[in-house]
């Protein structure tokens, strides 16, 4: 299978609920596509193409992130040419890596740029709080302290419900 076949099979646009999604993808069956997916993501970064960006990142996630993906995610995480920051926070939180601390904090404090779809519950902010807490470095804990001191009730709520 090639990446265009993967896209046609698993992209959920216009499909009914019986159509498989990327969550149904069997990673071992498609792992050979990872290099081609990385090329697609590199091209999207270079051209700042947000179309189907979420699909290709999710495909890469389902096939298993590695250190090369970490670098791509770091670039995409704070890019302003897309609007999938909330999903990206979910992905980078799994790394629990200090390299994401400053970017997560930036997303947490800049609602206008990175959290424009957050409602009063501020789900992206809450995810940033959880990600910073899971990194658990001196720097991430300091950033959390800044967020706590902001007085935002959603920060407090996120910490109370951290697992």
- Over residues 88-101, the pLDDT tens digits come to 999 999 999 999 99
User: What's the whole-model pTM score?
Assistant: 0.89
How is residue 49 written in tokens?
A: 């193409």
Count structural domains, the chain: 2
Instruction: Give the pLDDT confidence score for residue 8 in this predicted structure.
Output: 80
Instruction: Give the pLDDT confidence score for residue 105 in this predicted structure.
Output: 99
Environment class of 79 (CB within 10 Å of its CB; exposed 0-12, middle 13-18, buried 19+): middle
Least confident of 54-63, 71-80, 125-134: 54-63
Instruction: Give the pLDDT confidence score for residue 19 in this predicted structure.
Output: 62
Residues 58 and 92 in one domain: no
150: phi then psi, degrees, rounded to nearest 5: -70, -20
Pair 73, 92: CB distance under 8 Å: yes
Instruction: Give the pLDDT confidence score for residue 17 in this predicted structure.
Output: 55
Is 28 a residue whose pLDDT tops 70? Answer: yes
Least confident of 3-12, 121-130, 136-145: 3-12
Residues 43 and 102 in one domain: no
**Closest by CA position to 52, among listed 97, 60, 112, 74:** 60
Instruction: Give the pLDDT confidence score for residue 57 in this predicted structure.
Output: 95
Task: Provide the 10 A C-beta neighbour count for residue 123.
Answer: 15
Give the residue numbers spanning the domain of 128.
88-163
Pair 104, 92: CB distance under 8 Å: yes
Instruction: Give the pLDDT confidence score for residue 7 in this predicted structure.
Output: 82
Upper half-sphere CA count for residue 86 (Cβ side, 13 Å): 12
Question: Is 83 a domain residue?
Answer: no
Residues 47 and 96 in one domain: no
136: left (phi over 0), alpha (psi -120 to 50) or beta: left
Is 115 a residue whose pLDDT tops 70? Answer: yes
């Amino acid at each position: 299978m090639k990446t265009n076949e993967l896209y046609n099979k698993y992209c959920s646009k216009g499909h009914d609920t019986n159509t498989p999604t990327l969550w149904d993808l069997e990673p071992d069956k498609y792992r050979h596509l990872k290099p081609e997916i990385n090329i697609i993501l590199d091209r999207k970064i270079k051209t700042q193409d947000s179309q189907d960006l979420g699909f290709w990142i999710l495909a890469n996630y389902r096939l298993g992130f590695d250190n090369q993906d970490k670098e791509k995610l770091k670039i995409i995480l704070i890019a302003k040419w897309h609007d999938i920051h909330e999903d990206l926070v979910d992905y980078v939180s799994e790394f629990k890596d200090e390299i994401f601390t400053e970017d997560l904090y930036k997303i947490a404090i800049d609602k206008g740029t990175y959290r424009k779809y957050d409602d009063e519950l501020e789900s992206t902010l809450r995810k940033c709080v959880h990600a910073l807490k899971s990194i658990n470095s001196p720097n991430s804990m300091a950033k959390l302290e800044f967020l706590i001191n902001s007085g935002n009730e959603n920060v407090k709520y996120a910490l109370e419900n951290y697992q």
